[in-house]
Structure 1
Amino acid sequence: MKICTVALIATLMVVFAVAANAQQNFNRLPRLNVRKQSFTVSGISSGAFMAQQFAVAFSKTVTGTGVVAGGPYYCSLGNEFVALDSCMKIPQMIDLSIIQDMIKEMESTGAIDHSSNVKNHKFYLFSGTDDFIVFQGVMRKLQQQLYTTFQVPISNIVTDFKTPAVHGFITNDYGNACAMFGSPFINNCGLDQAKIILETVLSTKLNASQPIDRNLFTFSQSGNYTATSFDEKGYIYIPTSCQANRAPCVVHLAFHGCNQGVQSVGDVFVKHSGYLKYAESNNIVVVFPQVRKTESFLVNPEG
């Protein structure tokens, strides 16, 4: 379950455009009345790195981020070998000062929003004690980056580095045994991680309810993009009350990890990660971009 190349910053503009314009792309999706300053993101593994990339690049728009087994912003410095070594198992090789210099350079050219916005974001950071894919030290480097580079106050960060879990997304009702590493990389450890993420980034308590099948739509991800590896379709859950502008809603963007896209596990991550239990009753639109595997090992072999 290597860090996929989907985490490269070149992908950011593409996914943002897809998520923002989904209603124009497929099956006449309903128009949405989205509350301002209500766009949040999260991800697992490569999707966690992607979530952090996305949150910093679009820091004016994003207000909260959930990172499950990921790492610092721009950890790889655009180098795949760094991504697969330092950003997974050798945290002592991650130089936050170099990354900070790169952030300043990207700000100066307008490549990303000004990082001063990040200090106002809410964060959830998770790393299982038995994670042997992305070491806890990498996540602690992210925690350090939030405190030092981005000046995020401690009160804005919720951490869990004590749960005895392997590398995967954690639930309280679905998946492999907590200690088992393997597809679909969802583990039942008695912890409702999706709820904790959403409550943290949205700063509110949530009630669970049964998702409605007809409110899970697909949207086209085809187009003339500079990035590659997008699957034919992505998923978006739109609660009944959010449709036809009937109620103001918030939007959460959830990035799957390697080998968790529809090509690998079907709609398992979409339907069983736990996000949908809180979408319908809390007016949360949840977007699930989908990335496919490529035949070339040099591009994105694990989706």
Structure 2
Amino acid sequence: MDHLSSGVAAALYAVTLSVTPAASATDLPKLKLAPEITVSGLSSGGYMAAQFHLAYSSQVQGAAIIAAGPVYCAANSLTVAFAHCLNKADSKPDLVGATRYLQAQQQAGAIDDVNNLKDDKVWLFHGTKDATVAAVVSDALTAQYQTLLDAGNIKYINDQNVAHHFPTDGNKGSDCLVSEAPFLGNCQYDAAGLLLGYLLPPLKPKAASASGELLQINQHHLAAVAKGQLAETGYLYVPKSCSEGQQCRLHVSFHGCKQYAGAVGDAYARGTGLNEYADTNQLVVLYPQTDKSAMAPFNPNGCWDWWGYSGEHYATKQGPQMAAVKQLIDALSR
């Protein structure tokens, strides 16, 4: 069983960097960040990226999502998650029900006005060799976004022979047709450049190698609600130009299940290719980190919550993980 579905299955049935210690709020570099944010994510991180995009649409201007389904696909139910949001070819995500839910949450103020999304850019990807998330599930995410913003602002790539991972054009990952830790694919396919180029045009060519700093940050100190929801340590990539006072944009990238630092170290934070583009495009990249938990909230594979293990409000601004990531962003902007 692959890494996303095994993470959910376990829930149903039952880092080291050679840098200084994790930074608290007072230790963070003084950053001059533009107000607009973009997000990306793989698998459970893709679900989280879409949730975050919709919940905080007044600030998030674009999202890139690899191998995930519609927001509120699971409808706070693991049974629904298995039946309609993972790898069953006959999955039928309930977009009508999800729409009703989002409308109700907007009226309650639990997510931002969806009209904010109309001019946003969305980049979606599903590999033809993905055995974890069925094509119909990613198709449903595309259909959901088509109801929320101009179809001309959506790029959906679904014709690449790629397994369930973050495809790269480097040699840091596994065989492109194999989904295995650290879930980076050596595919000669530059997903990082393509997604950033679509969300933030015009994109300058990437650096030959990342020359900025990958900092450890203390998520529990920076976000009051992070303890019990996120790992103590997260990552922040800061290009030299950004640390020296240039205005930079913020991109938040969410890892997948079994891809958190406790499982793969800094492989995701270093290996997607995002950092090399960050260096040449004045882009700070936040890599928030979950952790596994054998007790409530039960999350044995360090997934982001897209089915409700942290509580019924997981897909809204009231969701503990959503609020924690927002607090991290706010801390960086202070």
TM-score range, shorter chain: 0.7 to 0.9
**AA matched with 1:193:** A
1:10 corresponds in structure 2 to none
**AA matched with 1:133:** T
Gap regions ≥5 residues in structure 1: 6-22
1:97 corresponds in structure 2 to 96
1:135 corresponds in structure 2 to 134
Matched, 1:238 2:238: yes
1:147 corresponds in structure 2 to 146
Q: Aligned pair count?
A: 281
2:160 corresponds in structure 1 to 163
1:153-192 per-position Cα deviation (integer Å, ceiling 9, x unaligned): 2221111100011100000112111111211111111101
In structure 2, the residue corresponding to 1:164 is in which secondary structure? coil
Runs of at least 4 residues of structure 1 off by over 6 A? none
Q: Percent identity?
A: 32
Task: Give distance in 2, aligned partners of 1:228 and 1:75.
Answer: 24
**AA matched with 1:263:** G
Gap regions ≥5 residues in structure 2: 9-21, 303-334
Task: Give distance in 1, aligned partners of 2:159 and 2:201.
Answer: 22
Task: Give distance in 1, aligned partners of 2:226 and 2:73.
Answer: 21
Q: 1:55·1:65 contact (CA, 8 Å) conserved in 2?
A: yes
In structure 2, the residue corresponding to 1:113 is in which secondary structure? coil
In structure 2, the residue corresponding to 1:140 is in which secondary structure? helix
CA distance 1:99–1:62, shift in 2 (3 Å): same
Task: Give distance in 2, aligned partners of 1:123 and 1:251.
Answer: 16
Q: Report 1:172-251 matches (<5 A).
A: 172-174=169-171, 175-209=173-207, 210-212=209-211, 215-222=213-220, 224-225=224-225, 228-244=228-244, 246-251=245-250
Shift of 1:270: 0.7
1:18 corresponds in structure 2 to none
Q: 1:72·1:138 contact (CA, 8 Å) conserved in 2?
A: yes
In structure 1, the residue corresponding to 2:195 is in which secondary structure? helix
With structure 2 as the length reference, what TM-score do the two structures score?
Answer: 0.80
Q: 2:85·2:91 contact (CA, 8 Å) conserved in 1?
A: no
Q: 2:219·2:226 contact (CA, 8 Å) conserved in 1?
A: no
Task: Give distance in 2, aligned partners of 1:226 and 1:271.
Answer: 23
1:282 corresponds in structure 2 to 281
Q: 248-257 or 24-33, which moves further after superposition?
A: 24-33
Shift of 1:212: 2.1
Q: Report 1:14-29 matches (<5 A).
A: 25-26=24-25, 28-29=27-28
1:104-142 per-position Cα deviation (integer Å, ceiling 9, x unaligned): 110111000011111211011100001110011100001
Query: What is the RMSD computed on CA atoms of the aligned residues?
Result: 2.0
2:254 corresponds in structure 1 to 255
